[in-house]
A and B are shown apart, each in its own frame.
Chain A
């Protein structure tokens, strides 16, 4: 690690770190996701076989993590835009981060049933 990688701390730095980490994770998933979708050009069977893995409980949990990463990156990205373009943005960056976290928690709670419901029915019966 280069010197001076850790600095200042608190909301400003940690939201920046989380934005980076989620961004890199999403990009790697996107690469895999374009490859798996490309299987529709091979055969319906090949595509359906790979998509079947997306429906297993363990991958469903990973999908929930992907949704978590995307929602944080999206909401915090809007906060970054507000910090850059809104004249009062830098002054309210902390309040905006906690707003982002609050909205994220609500959306993640709302995503539990739609994203994990199918996996729960597979595991515990419908």
Chain B
């Protein structure tokens, strides 16, 4: 009868000897992919997550800024026919519209640049074309943001 008896640990006697019990516990097996001190540090960071989140947050703000911009420029007071130097001077005399246009410039350029970065990542396969296309993209983006910012801050209604 002793051979069919179950032990406390649930492990039956193997050739008459218990392998593990309270005094001799089984070795601990580490869970797969568990982060330990020996795991190398990730070198990637969370850039792609931040970019993903930025697209959504800036997108919501841009819906308000850009549609407001379209209504002002293309719908109200005779639509596009009223737009001219005098109209721009009138609007930028108000710091509120300067901040509006500055926020729209920065958010739209960064949103668009990140979108194009994704497109380049998807379709440009050779490392060289990726490098050149992204170099061109980042150069054009930095240039456009800086130029637009400079224009908003240094605008002079009495230029002539």
Question: A residues bordering B, Cβ < 8 Å?
Answer: 1-2, 20, 23-24, 26-27, 30-31, 34-35, 37-38, 40-41, 43-45, 47-48, 51, 54-55, 60, 63, 67, 70-71, 74, 77-78, 80-81, 84-85, 111, 114-115, 117-118
Q: Please indicate the chain B residues that have their CB under 8 angstroms from the CB of A81 in the complex.
A: 56, 59-60
Tell me the chain B residues, 105-160 only, with Cβ under 8 Å from chain A.
105, 108-109, 112-113, 115-116, 119, 122-123, 125, 140, 144, 147-148, 150-151, 154-156, 159-160
Tell me what chain B mostly uses at the interface: helix, strand, loop, or mixed: helix
Given contacts A41-B154, A67-B74, A118-B80, are A23 and B115 in contact (CB under 8 A)?
yes
Contact A44 B66 (CB under 8 A): no
Tell me, rounded to whole Å, the shortest Cβ–Cβ distance linking A104 to chain B.
Answer: 12
Contact A44 B60 (CB under 8 A): no
Nearest to B62 among chain A residues (CB) is A74
Number of A-B contacts (CB under 8 A): 108
Contact B148 A34 (CB under 8 A): yes
Count of interface residues, chain B, beta-carbon cutoff 8 Å: 42
The segment from B10-18, B23-31, B83-91 found at the interface with A is B83-91
Contact A118 B85 (CB under 8 A): no
Given contacts A26-B112, A54-B83, A63-B80, are A38 and B148 in contact (CB under 8 A)?
yes
